[in-house]
């Protein structure tokens, strides 16, 4: 009789301090957080002093904007602290309460300042120019004024803006409900492996333990267990998503956009043609995907290739254990091309507890980077020793350094960066890691694994995210046509798109219809396409750095430091990439084909 071993996640109290992030760099204590919370709360009425007066003089306008910035910066730190404290153990009601309070206060601050946009728009451009000429401090807001004027036709009356702002928590509640359901309330089953071992399924181990297993039965059992868990809650997840879609459609109508996608892209001045070009380029290049999948099927020696087979390493034994310490060293070596300052800052962050490393009970799933003006970046991981997690570390480190440079080099109004460029810096780091490994590694098996990893990066980050983008676009089109979003309609839509992308090469099991429920980014409408455009831009940037050297590196570092000081499309053009063209996406597919050729060549050399 086999012995059954149950592997469970540690409690938060059992995680070593040096593997947790240090929130004292935001606030020294919860008491300090409460004081900052009260400072914002008590100042909400102060901004109203300027109501109706912004157009009187440049001095008054500057005072109002500076006060708004000051409160926004403090509020950002208040929210960041509460969010991070709650995410490491979502089962603690006190911490969830801090996050809820911070979210509500953020909404109240938004309401208290909601009158500013409509009032700013009533100041005629020529008068605004005179204000800027007489008040030196106003010049910093010029780009903000330009963006605001561009969106002027979508800004509603002061009364409507106040209503929309006060309703923001309710309108955004679907994403919060989804996260709580995913991280706290969903009970994932224990999965019995073929050898009798019983493993508790989690969002963290689903990929590394199950989908990347060399054992087809382990992959199947893990996949079916995860899809089954979502299927059992399909009505709740559908209600969450339908509510999120309805909120976006409502706001788009109120603001006079053509639709929710127009609203999402217009706000950052990205033409909808960029989205459509991406999907069209995917359509054109699907044959190279099917060529790769045919090779995958041949190498794996299976009669049928299922969707849960697509993550299994093709080179046995090459996905070696890589510890957290080894991974940090790898990342720092790979990004050395970006210069001493970049490496010094990132290495210092690793040593200063910017990262919450290991998975524990109640911890938010996945990985992310989060920071606010005046704070260092913070990275959340759910670490399992593997090369894949090393790349995840490199990815989030790219986000962190983008945040570090933009927030330290730009004033508050431009210290962030748009979603459109958010995935560029992260995937640049991944590309640099792959190039570094292929340059330094001689082990044929490991080389094959890295090449395959690059193929998979393009498949999952460009092709798969484009698949998500197509699903999202079609789901919103249904809602905007007043068609109901139901578990059956969304499941059929998702399975149909998966079949279009993969059906010529894979068996599409019915359970794939549940996968859309796992995608938390759907609650940030029209976000996912930017993974695909981001990797395409990153490939172009890295190729430029490897080809042109320091000038290209300098352009890239300037991009990281630019924040929102220009439109994102223009920032990328300055760095050498034109995303209004389909060329960067096509170039990424050309790179995919080159990696596939190299993979076949190195495979043949081992035969």
* Residue boundaries of the structural domains of the chain: 14-171, 324-448+530-606
**What is the pLDDT at residue 5?**
43
Q: At a CB cut-off of 8 Å and minimum separation 6, what does 503 contact?
A: none
Provide DSSP, 37-55: HHHHHHHTTGGGGGTTTTT
- Tell me the average pLDDT of the chain: 93
**pLDDT above 50 for 6:** no
Which pLDDT score is estimated for 160? 87
Asked which of 56-65, 353-362, 448-457 is least confident by mean pLDDT, the reply is 448-457
CA–CA gap between residue 240 and residue 233 (Å, rounded): 11
Strand partners, 571: none
Residue 489 pLDDT > 90: yes
Q: Which CATH number fits domain 14-171: 3.30.300.130, 1.20.140.70, 1.10.3720.10, 1.10.10.410?
A: 1.20.140.70
Asked if the model's pLDDT at residue 2 lies above 50, the reply is no
How far is 4 from 439, CA to CA, in rounded Å?
Answer: 43
**Bigger pLDDT: 314 or 466?**
466
- The per-residue pLDDT for range 9-67, each reduced to its tens digit, is 899 999 999 999 999 999 999 999 999 999 999 999 999 999 999 999 999 999 999 99
Q: Cα 447 to the chain's mean position, in Å?
A: 28
Q: Are 125 and 75 in contact (CB under 8 A)?
A: no
Average pLDDT over residues 498-514: 96
pLDDT value for 551: 96
563: left (phi over 0), alpha (psi -120 to 50) or beta: left
Please tell me which residue in 119, 162, 388, 396 is annotated as part of the active site.
396
**CB contact set of 595 (below 8 Å; sequence gap of 6+):** 451, 454, 455, 458
CATH number for the domain whose boundaries are 324-448+530-606:
1.10.1370.20
Instruction: Look at residue 295 and tell me whether its pLDDT is greater than 60.
Output: yes
Torsion angle of C-alpha atoms 261, 265, 266, 269, degrees rounded to 10? -160
The pLDDT assigned to 319 comes to 57
151 is catalytic: no
Which DSSP string do the residues of 329-358 spell out, in sequence order?
HHHHHHGGGG-HHHHHHHHHHHHTT-EE-S
pTM above 0.75, yes or no: yes
How much is the average pLDDT of 140-156?
89
* Token code pair at residue 188: 């994932």
Separation between Cα atoms, residue 121 and residue 546, nearest integer Å = 45
- Please write the tens of the pLDDT for every residue from 114-133: 999 889 988 988 999 999 99
- What letter does residue 4 receive in the DSSP assignment? P
């Amino acid at each position: 009789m086999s012995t059954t071993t149950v592997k469970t996640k540690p409690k938060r109290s059992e995680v070593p301090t040096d593997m947790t992030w240090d929130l004292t760099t935001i606030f020294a204590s919860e008491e300090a957080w409460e004081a900052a919370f009260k400072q914002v709360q008590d100042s909400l009425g102060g901004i109203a002093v300027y109501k109706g007066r912004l157009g009187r003089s440049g001095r008054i306008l500057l005072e109002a904007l500076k006060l708004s910035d000051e409160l926004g910066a403090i509020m950002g730190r208040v929210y960041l602290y509460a969010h991070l404290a709650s995410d490491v153990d979502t089962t603690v009601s006190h911490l969830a309460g801090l996050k809820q309070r911070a979210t509500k206060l953020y909404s109240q601050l938004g309401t208290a300042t909601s009158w500013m946009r409509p009032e700013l728009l009533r100041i005629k451009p020529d008068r605004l120019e005179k204000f800027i000429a007489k008040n030196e401090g106003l010049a910093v807001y010029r780009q903000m004024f330009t963006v605001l004027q561009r969106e002027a036709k979508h800004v509603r009356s002061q009364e409507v803006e106040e209503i929309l702002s006060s309703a923001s928590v309710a309108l955004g509640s679907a994403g919060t409900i989804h996260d709580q359901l995913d991280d706290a309330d969903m009970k994932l089953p224990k999965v019995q492996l073929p050898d009798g071992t019983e493993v508790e399924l989690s969002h963290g181990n689903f990929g590394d333990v199950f989908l990347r297993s060399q054992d087809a039965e382990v992959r199947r059992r893990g996949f079916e267990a995860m899809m089954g868990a979502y299927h059992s809650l399909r009505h709740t997840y559908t209600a969450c998503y339908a509510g999120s879609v309805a909120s976006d459609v409502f706001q788009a109508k109120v603001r006079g956009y053509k639709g929710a996608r127009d609203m999402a892209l217009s706000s950052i001045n990205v033409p909808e043609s960029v989205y459509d070009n991406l999907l069209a380029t995917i359509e054109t290049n699907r044959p190279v995907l099917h060529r790769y999948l045919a090779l995958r099927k041949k190498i794996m020696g299976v009669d049928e290739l299922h969707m849960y087979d697509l993550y299994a390493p093709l080179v046995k034994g090459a996905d070696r254990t890589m510890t957290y310490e080894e991974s940090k060293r790898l990342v720092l070596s790979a990004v050395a091309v970006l210069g001493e300052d970049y490496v010094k800052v990132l290495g210092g962050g690793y040593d200063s507890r910017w990262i919450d490393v290991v998975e524990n009970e109640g911890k938010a799933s996945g990985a992310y980077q989060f920071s606010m003006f005046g704070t260092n970046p913070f990275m959340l991981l759910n670490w399992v020793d593997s090369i894949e997690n090393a790349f995840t570390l490199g990815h989030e480190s790219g986000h962190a350094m983008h945040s570090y440079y933009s927030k330290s080099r730009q004033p508050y109004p431009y210290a962030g960066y748009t979603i459109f460029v958010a995935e560029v810096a992260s995937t640049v780091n991944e590309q640099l890691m792959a190039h570094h490994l292929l340059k330094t590694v001689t082990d044929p098996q490991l080389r094959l694994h890295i090449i395959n990893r690059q193929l998979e990066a393009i498949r999952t980050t460009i092709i798969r995210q484009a698949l998500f983008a197509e699903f999202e676009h079609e789901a919103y089109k249904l809602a905007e046509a007043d068609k109901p979003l139901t578990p059956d309609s969304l499941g059929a839509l998702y399975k149909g798109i998966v079949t279009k992308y993969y059906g010529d090469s894979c068996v599409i099991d019915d359970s794939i219809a549940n996968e859309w429920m796992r995608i938390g980014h759907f609650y940030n409408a029209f976000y996912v396409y930017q993974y695909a455009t981001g990797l395409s831009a990153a490939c172009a940037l890295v190729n430029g750095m490897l080809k042109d050297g320091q000038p290209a590196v300098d352009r890239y570092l300037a991009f990281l430091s630019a924040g929102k000081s220009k439109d994102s499309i223009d920032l990328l053009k300055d760095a050498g990439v034109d995303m209004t063209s389909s060329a960067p996406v096509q170039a990424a597919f050309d790179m995919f084909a080159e990696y596939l050729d190299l993979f076949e060549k190195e495979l043949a050399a081992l035969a």
